[in-house]
A and B are shown apart, each in its own frame.
Chain A
Amino acid sequence: MATKIIDPVTGRKIDERRFSSISRRELLKLTPVMALGAFAIPALQTPLLKKGLAFSDWASARVFRSGHLAQTFSDGEVTPFNKFPINDYDVDDPGVIFENWTLTVTGAVQKPGDYTLAQVQALPRYRQNTRHVCVEGWDVIGRFGGARLSDFLNMIGADPTAKYITVACADDYYESLDMATARHPQTLLCYEMYDQPLTREHGAPLRLTVPTKIGYKQAKYLTDLKVSHVLDKVGYWEDQGYSEFYGL
């Protein structure tokens, strides 16, 4: 059993019992690791994960840059229209009656009321080929056209100190955007895809396209838009437990 000490400078003799007590003390110093066990306790798990997700959202908001544009692509890189997935939580076509359609604007704005599609289309039109990333992991590059949401917010006289916009949809879907994202130059009130009027399955007559956000933020079949200082409704998937900010 006996071995010689290789390093005589640091080598010293200690009692076997003392070695055991040192070892035990060192082992006890690892108890902070046990704190992770809190995640295994059902009563604590949900609030802890909620905190973790909220922290990630906070970090997401911190790294968001208003002037940083999402990558745009050449027409050749765009996913063909028939390979652009039709995604919804309920129905492909909620049966919007176009003749009666308006976007109802409420909240912290100077000019609330019902806005027609023609009023949205009268704003400068922007077309962009941007990536649409689904929370599931797939992505497509689409061609979107519409008015900048920031132009629309200026038109309705949105309170510059307001923090959020929320939208409601014909299929009872609902979503929200932080104001920095809402005013991002690539955030569009979209009424065109692939240079054609929006089809019913893709959200006619008006949808959001937000290349700096995850797919579920790009609400379709818009009916209502509200400008607010506090967020009373976040979003359909967010209420199921998905990230509230989910910026890309």
Chain B
Amino acid sequence: MSTAVEIVQNSKDAESIPVARAVYEHPLIVRLCHWINAISLFVMVGSGLQIFRAFPSFGAKIPQQDLVHWPRSLAIGGWLGGALQWHLTFMWIYLGSGLVYVAYQLFSGHYRQVLFTHKDARGVWPMARHYFFFGPKPLQREAYNPLQKQAYTAAILLGALSALSGFAIWKPVQFSWLAWFFGGFHWARLVHFIVMWAMLGFVFGHLVMVILHGWNNFVSMLTGWKKDPEY
């Protein structure tokens, strides 16, 4: 699926000595969706927390018991109306980039690089042992290792859940079946909140891994090409 090239020092010489190998891991659409989605997720979380500040509870209005007082400085929009403007604008960008990504992955077959299947299940523990318990590094055979596939597949499912629970609380009457699916307006709002934290958990782990895996890996999400891949 991914194109591989050998980078040489001088192309005029047919017998040039290879200095590196590079593979094309991320097609343009995937990279565009990744960055647009990353920015829109940032705005959605920030504005969502400002909206949450208007009623920081999942219980009754009377008496109101606040769960947490989230600081305004860690939120986007400044006030409820402003935050709703950001949230109701960027939700389309968030949704759009997510849908384009999923559609592209499905139709191009590129999803095989990301999708976690039963074949990957056995590889999760050796990878986790390597990362968290100093175990030996398993041999990397493809772009994403089983733990990565599990994380990315989970993130895509969380993205879908965030959108669906969001629509359930935005349109509990017109999409009453969706609100029903989440257990009603109240539960949908709680699911929406929990999914956000799960997504932030993914982002945290993702960023740690990006830092650990160095520059070539990071650049691959910008140019598509990964220099010196491990496989």
On A, residues with C-beta under 8 Å from B are 1-7, 10-16, 18-19, 22-24, 26-27, 29-30, 32-33, 36, 39, 48-53, 55-56, 60, 63-65, 68, 70-71, 79, 82-85, 131, 133-140, 211-212, 237, 240-243, 247-248
Contacts and interface: CB of A to CB of B under 8 A. Distances in A.
Interface in B216-231: 219, 222-225, 228, 231
Report, nearest first, the 8 A-B pairs whose CB atoms are least far apart.
A52-B89, A15-B11, A137-B55, A136-B54, A138-B61, A56-B88, A49-B85, A241-B81
B116 interface: no
A10 B2 CA distance: 8
Interface in B78-104: 80-82, 84-86, 88-93
B154 interface: no
A19 B61 contact: no
B32 interface: yes
B171 A63 contact: yes
Interface centre among A11, A85, A212 (most CB of B within 10 A): A11
A7 B4 contact: yes
A133 B35 CA distance: 34
A192 to B, nearest CB: 21
Interface string B184-201: 011001000000000000
Give the size category of B's interface with A. 35 or more
Given A53-B88, A85-B62, A240-B81, A19 B22 contact: yes
Interface of B: 2-11, 16-22, 28, 31-32, 35-36, 39-40, 43, 51-52, 54-55, 57, 60-62, 64, 80-82, 84-86, 88-93, 171-176, 185-186, 189, 219, 222-225, 228, 231
B74 to A, nearest CB: 18
A12 B5 contact: yes
B61 A83 contact: yes
A133 B185 contact: yes
21 contacts: A3-B21, A3-B228, A10-B2, A11-B5, A11-B21, A12-B5, A13-B18, A19-B5, A49-B89, A50-B85, A51-B89, A53-B84, A65-B174, A71-B176, A83-B60, A85-B61, A133-B185, A134-B61, A139-B61, A237-B81, A243-B88
